[in-house]
Structure 1
């Protein structure tokens, strides 16, 4: 297998640049880029990754949701390429929840996002899809779409107190898991 591309880190110019639309989806470079994004998302255990994160200036990202140490309650969604994605509509309700980013290592934050979004994107076989996403999948979509516009999740933080180190985050979710397990055992007793 080819070597995985390096993930651009905060401070890289490409992460602050608006990506350009993909014109020829069937182009072998675009199809190869999709394969690289999927492989990188899987190898890094990420739930999504955008082309600018591997220094490619295209409006293209992957959503690959799955439960993990970082997101233990994430739903499962097979790696899905979303080309020239956009939000058509969104709920008024926003929810503040945890986010991190492969391009912003060792930082987590509570980020407000729309709870439900109606989206449109083109698949890697050229099909235009419209879907409604809610909760965690909607959050991933909005996070990755921000990457295409040069925005990082830390830009969306409303209050500095909503930023945490990875170690602080792990401690918090470990405590939450322990409380949930304790509540389950109380119910069984």
Structure 2
């Protein structure tokens, strides 16, 4: 695993694909002394996600492990960017909802999963400051998806049943 960023802009081609053993590994915490690396990692995550958005028309979050960076870090771009370091999920609601989930590591496949309706996300931001964020609905689902990546869990492993897979229709 490389912890340093190259000068090459990251694209879809750099995203780790379904079947790669790195996707099934539990990521290590980001250490405070690695904080200087986070800016480059986030730039790489942002660039790869923008390429997915350009080609496939989706993408609001990406986990570091999807670029082979096996650290507990993910990046969200919702009306603004969020850098999520060493996240912890708390207060997961007993209420669940179903949805068709997609993933940048297999962008043409949809998987029907269940997710908690709401939760609290505790994390460190890019300045190593503790944050707490109460989430519900689609942002709660997104955070659960990215958090799963940090634990080596893919949405394919959370499929409701063996018929919970379908190809995306081309738009």
- Please report the TM-score for the alignment, with normalisation by the length of structure 1: 0.78
CA RMSD of aligned residues (A): 1.7
Q: Point out where structure 1 has 5 or more consecutive residues left out of the alignment.
A: 66-76, 172-189
Decide which of 26, 32, 36 is 2:44's aligned counterpart.
36
- Cross-structure match for 2:85: 83
Identify, as 1 or 2, the structure richer in helix. 1
Q: Point out where structure 2 has 5 or more consecutive residues left out of the alignment.
A: 1-6, 54-58
- Cross-structure match for 1:8: 16
Length, aligned pairs only: 158
- Cross-structure match for 1:50: 63
- Please report the TM-score for the alignment, with normalisation by the length of structure 2: 0.86
Report the CA distance between 1:26 and its aligned residue.
Answer: 5.9
Decide which of 84, 108, 124 is 2:110's aligned counterpart.
108
Checking the alignment, whether the CA contact within 8 Å between 1:25 and 1:31 is kept in structure 2 is no
- Cross-structure match for 1:186: none
Q: Deviations over 1:1-43 (max 9, x none)?
A: 7321500001111100000000126633222101111222222
Instruction: Pick the structure with greater CA Rg.
Output: 1
